[in-house]
Amino acid sequence: MKEPMEWLEPIYKQLESAIHEHKTTHAFLIKGQTGVGKNNLAMHLANGFLGEETINPTNNKGDEGIIPDCKLISRQERKETISIDQIRSLKSFLLLTSLKGRGKVGVINPADAMTYPAVNSLLKILEEPPQDTLLILLTDSINKLPSTIISRVQIITVENPTIQQTLDWLSTSNQADNWDEIINIFGCRPVLLNKLGHTYLSERIETVSNELHRLLTKRIKPSQLANSWKSEELEINLRLVYYWFSKFLYHHLLEIDNHDLMPESLQELLGKDINIEESFNLLNEIASIRQLKINGKSLNWSLQITNLLSPIYSNMKGLQSFESRT
């Protein structure tokens, strides 16, 4: 079992007494990056409100063997949004008599996935909340939510843990693994890193590094590489390419020699005649496509990635010198 998340303890301790005595606001909005423990905090708050030692909320499918006084609303399978019918079902749930007499809790994750009608339905609950109920909304970005929701909830910000806190928490079940490079690339998001796993992330780093080298040396075309990238790996792959190119530009512009975390193919480009403006445009494009993927947009990803990688393959100055070495 994982150790407690010490970076969340100050938040929970501040609210613990009021939560247990039902003297808090009727709705919280927990915001923070993916993988920093928002779900864990939400379950702690629900636990305190309901007086339970452990919480595993009733989900959209109504699975058995779980706490009936806590309901989770999330995207249904193959859906990009949370519908008005799901919010209506939450309202019906909150109006039911509490099985243990401690009230009812509804958790909406991610809250920013609600459709416009769903938001309006939730507003009615927030304006007239049923007695002894608590709503907990989770989001990666508060900017994705309308002001009408934000103004009716108490906001809780979950900051990323420190590097040491991240390493300490990951080491409780991954004692032999070195997470330094992974944390440098993906940031201090221990829950996400633990979920993906050290082995998987290390393999992704090595694979994408080799693929980027083949692209830079014209051993593979952008369309071929794009077609080989699986949809579920796309966000990670783009994160890696973004990280490496941002590092490359940083080292290139400042003429820094230490570039251990950069693929060999990019290291060899340092000091050559690189189109800096186009490289920055590439970074902006990577960030835009990553955000579209994170937001769950349905696009022709193979075409998007092909267009993204084409400048790396053909337009950046200095790449032609690689062909003579391959």
pLDDT band at residue 54, thresholds of 50, 70 and 90?
low
The segment with the largest mean pLDDT, out of 48-52, 123-127, 275-279, is 123-127
d(C-alpha 249, C-alpha 79), whole Å? 38
> Which of 211, 234, 227 lies closest to 290, judged by CA?
234
Q: What are phi and psi of 139, to 5 degrees?
A: -155, 150
Angle of helix 116-127 relative to helix 84-95, nearest 10 degrees, comes to: 20
Q: Which helix (H) or strand (E) holds 135?
A: strand 133-139
Q: What is the pLDDT of residues 72-100, one digit of tens each?
A: 999 988 788 999 999 999 999 999 999 88
Mean pLDDT of 110-132: 95
> Which of 215, 220, 161 lies closest to 191, judged by CA?
161
State the chain's mean pLDDT as an integer: 84
**Residue 40: how many other CB atoms lie within 10 Å:** 16
pTM of the model: 0.83
- Range name among 30-44, 120-134, 282-296 with the lowest pLDDT average: 282-296
d(C-alpha 107, C-alpha 312), whole Å? 43
Q: Which helix (H) or strand (E) holds 209?
A: helix 198-216
Q: What is the DSSP letter of 106?
A: E
> Which of 275, 282, 280 lies closest to 316, judged by CA?
275
CB 203 within 8 A of CB 236: no
d(C-alpha 39, C-alpha 33), whole Å? 11
Asked if the peptide bond before residue 110 counts as cis, ω within 30 degrees of 0, the response is yes
d(C-alpha 66, C-alpha 10), whole Å? 28
* 314-321 contacts, C-beta under 8 A, 24 or more apart: 315/275, 315/278, 316/274, 316/275, 316/278, 316/279, 317/272, 317/273, 317/274, 317/275, 318/269, 318/272, 318/273, 318/274, 319/216, 319/218, 319/269, 321/272
Residue 255 pLDDT:
62
Mean pLDDT of 275-281: 76
Q: What is the share, in percent, of the chain residues with pLDDT greater than 90? A: 52
The segment with the largest mean pLDDT, out of 26-35, 70-79, 314-323, is 26-35
* Half-sphere exposure of residue 303: CA atoms within 13 angstroms, side-chain side: 3
Mean pLDDT of 229-244: 90
d(C-alpha 75, C-alpha 81), whole Å? 6
